[in-house]
Amino acid sequence: MSLKTILKVEDLTKYFVVNRSLFSAGEVVKAVDGVSFSLMQGETLSLVGESGCGKSTTGRLVLRLIDPTRGSVHYQGQDIARLPADKMRKLRSQMQIIFQDPWSSLNPRMTVKEIIGEGLRRQPGLSRAQRKKMVLDMMETVGLRPEHYDRHPHEFSGGQRQRLGVARALIMRPKLVVADEPLSALDVSVQAQVVNLLARLKRDLGLSYLFISHDLAIVEHISDRIAVMYLGKLMELASKRQLFAQPRHPYTQALFSAAPTTEVGREKKRIILTGDVPSPLNPPKGCRFHTRCPVAQEDCRQLEPEFKLLAPGHWVACHHPING
């Protein structure tokens, strides 16, 4: 893996105002609150966390599908958070997204050739025949057959639709792909097919993935590094090896221990957290995890921990990180 940084995100923040009306200024949801990380070329960085932690919003901010409230997103050295729309449009082909739900993310009225080839129409100087060839090549790459060319999405199974979504994203030859829960709508026997497809395309095309998921088994399989999010903040970031061998944040530890495995009979020490994730409308003061943290102390309730380096490449936001 080369060590060139393709994406550098600093202090990325997105607040949404909800429940605004004529008589009320509304309330602020701090969906993403000061997130920083970088992604190397050819790397897969996974963002994991439970619902409402801001992982999908982070993915959309990175591609500037929504504008950040604060912070910067440097793509190959250029801050795209401030880029004018016309310049941004030129960059968009290099950054693509694969969505979670292959049923709602494909236009049912479009045929396969239109769905996959739509982006190419904005590229000048391509003849219709060239476009057709590129679409057919990409279909082959993702494992769709040529006779699928004129079909509509409803004629496909979930796994095939997800292949369509992958083909749509990759035909523009992107360098950066945000994959937002690309497997969670698929059956187990089909998940493996899509995982292998994503891994092969990364290798063949030199892609970098920001892989958003809540499935730890798949994250462990596919990632180089992993970032753990909770209520809009990064809790821990480290290489896969470091994180699975020695999680330092109590939340990471609980999250990993909660994931069921298929090993029968081996008694696992499971950390059962109390309560649910608090509302991002009104996140707890101090450390956001302190209301559910099994080792929280007084300072955790008062002071927000900094995201700091504990070991080379291992970042943790905790006042009392767990020692190995």
Q: Which residues bind another protein (CB under 8 A)?
A: 50-51, 157, 159-160, 187-193, 195-196, 199, 214, 216-218, 220-221, 244, 254-255, 257-265, 268, 270, 272-274, 276-277, 292
CA 296 to chain centre: 29
CB of 248 to another protein, least distance (A): 18
Q: Which is nearer to another protein, 262 or 323 (CB)?
A: 262
Q: Which is nearer to another protein, 21 or 189 (CB)?
A: 189
Residue 151: enclosing H or E segment and its boundaries?
Answer: none
Amino acid at the residue 207: L
CB of 87 to another protein, least distance (A): 39
Query: How do 27-40 and 5-18 pair as beta strands?
Result: antiparallel
* Percentages of the chain per state (helix, strand, coil), in multiples of 5: 35, 25, 45
CB of 69 to another protein, least distance (A): 25
Closest by alpha carbon to 46, among 202, 254, 273, 263? 202
CB of 297 to another protein, least distance (A): 21
Cα(273)–Cα(254) distance, integer angstroms: 7
Dihedral angle sign, alpha carbons of residues 163, 169, 175, 181:
negative
CB of 2 to another protein, least distance (A): 20
Q: Which is nearer to another protein, 75 or 251 (CB)?
A: 251
Q: Which is nearer to another protein, 218 or 287 (CB)?
A: 218
CA 223 to chain centre: 11
Closest by alpha carbon to 247, among 219, 278, 226, 269? 226
Q: Which is nearer to another protein, 250 or 286 (CB)?
A: 250
Q: Which is nearer to another protein, 106 or 194 (CB)?
A: 194
Q: Which is nearer to another protein, 117 or 250 (CB)?
A: 250
CB of 22 to another protein, least distance (A): 24
CB of 18 to another protein, least distance (A): 15
SS3 44: strand
**Angle made by CA atoms 196, 198, 204, in degrees to the nearest 5:** 100
Residue 178 DSSP code: E
